[in-house]
Amino acid sequence: ATERTLSIIKPDATRRNLTGKINARFEEAGLRIVAQKRVQLTKAQAEQFYSVHKERSFFGELVAFMISGPVVVQVLEGEGAVARNREIMGATNPANAAPGTIRADFAESVEANSVHGSDSAENAAIEIAYFFAGSEIVG
């Protein structure tokens, strides 16, 4: 079925001017960018977005990294978009990411791993609503 997923191009990637190269990966994989904006997250926004991880040892560093520069938040649409995006991103840790994936090719570390993608359709709906009004998504 056609699905939507929330994607974030992280500060390590915007800093290295990789937005276009990463967007090309999505489009070449058949995903359509149906909403997109470049934003500087506040600490409160990053903490809320990643609140599921708040007990993890890396939470403070994760939040600090995510506010270290601009991010591009986007909605990707396509057949099985949640799983498709996870395939093309590759594993969270670029050391484990398959060749040809975004993280294998661009990520610097498990923290500076270039992209975030929703891990389920249920979380995608929550994450999309966190950043976008319905009227900002044009399929």
Binding flags for ligand CMP, 25-64, as an x/- string (CB under 6 A)? ----------------------------x----x---x--
Residues 6+ apart with CB under 8 A from 48: 130
82 part of the interface to ligand CMP, by CB under 6 A:
no
Instruction: Compare residues 36 and 92 and give the one whose CB is closer to ligand CMP.
Output: 92
Q: How is residue 17 written in tokens? A: 């001017």
Active site residue 53: no
23 part of the interface to ligand CMP, by CB under 6 A:
no
Question: Which string of DSSP letters, residue by residue, matches 54-75?
Answer: TTSTTHHHHHHHHTSS-EEEEE
| Residue in 134, 90, 78 with CA at minimum distance from that of residue 116 | 90
Residue length, the chain?
139
Residues in contact with ligand CMP by CB under 6 A are 53, 58, 62, 92, 110-111, 113, 116
Active site residues: 116
